[in-house]
């Protein structure tokens, strides 16, 4: 009887150990998923993403890029930092699904400004943003992952 109780004890303890050590995953919200696609997950070697300008459209019509524009890059860090190859730095945030806000400081004048883009589409290798210009025209930007 004592051997039976000992075996039962170890079987129950083993089952509890196995169940408690199983990894539990938490579902990612759609906003958090967009953030991770934009800037990385924050895990080892995935703390930022750099996006290179691939094409631009003005009111749906392709707008040819100059050599300098083809080399334009934006870097978004997991902790909310932003920088680009025009030497602007600042912060980014996604508080509403499909809306990206960049806030940056002009170094020459030390003034702060922000731009809100519509995220048309985003995946692990492509980013498409659009915004309405002050003159009412819609400008679309397509980026490809650069890192």
Give residue 8's pLDDT: 62
Q: What is the mean pLDDT of residues 115-140?
A: 96
Domain coverage including residue 123: 27-145
> Which tops the pLDDT comparison, 106 or 47?
47
Q: Specify the pTM.
A: 0.80
CA distances from 30 to 57, 67, 115 (A): 27, 35, 22
CA–CA separation, 1 and 54 (whole Å): 75
Q: Residue 4 falls within a domain, yes or no?
A: no
pLDDT band for position 42 (50/70/90)? confident
CATH number at residue 47: 2.40.128.540
- For 75-98, the pLDDT digits (tens) are 999 999 999 998 889 999 999 999
Give residue 119's pLDDT: 98
Q: Residue 112 falls within a domain, yes or no?
A: yes
Q: Residue 38 falls within a domain, yes or no?
A: yes
Give residue 108's pLDDT: 79
Residue 112 has pLDDT above 60, yes or no: yes
For 84-97, the DSSP string reads ETTS-EEEEEEEET
Helix boundaries (H) for the chain: 2-21, 30-39, 67-70
| Phi, psi of 91, rounded to the nearest 5 degrees | -130, 160
Q: Residue 134 falls within a domain, yes or no?
A: yes
Residue 109 has pLDDT above 90, yes or no: no
How far apart are the two ends of the chain, measured CA to CA in Å? 65
> Which tops the pLDDT comparison, 116 or 22?
116
The total of structural domains in the chain comes to 1
Average pLDDT over all residues of the chain: 89
């Amino acid at each position: 009887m004592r051997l039976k109780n000992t075996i039962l004890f170890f079987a129950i303890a083993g089952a509890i150990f196995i169940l408690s050590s199983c990894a539990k995953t938490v579902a990612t919200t759609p906003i958090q998923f967009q953030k991770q696609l934009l800037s990385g997950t924050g895990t080892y070697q995935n703390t930022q993403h750099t996006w290179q300008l691939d094409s631009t459209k003005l009111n749906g019509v392709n707008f040819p890029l100059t050599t300098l524009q083809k080399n334009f890059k934006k870097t978004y860090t997991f902790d909310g930092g932003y920088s680009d190859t025009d030497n602007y730095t600042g912060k980014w945030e996604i508080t509403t699904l499909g809306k990206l806000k960049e806030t940056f400081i002009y170094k020459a004048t030390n003034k702060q400004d922000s731009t809100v883009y519509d995220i048309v589409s985003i995946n692990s290798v492509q980013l498409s943003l659009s915004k309405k210009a002050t003159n009412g025209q819609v400008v679309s930007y397509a980026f490809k992952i650069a890192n």
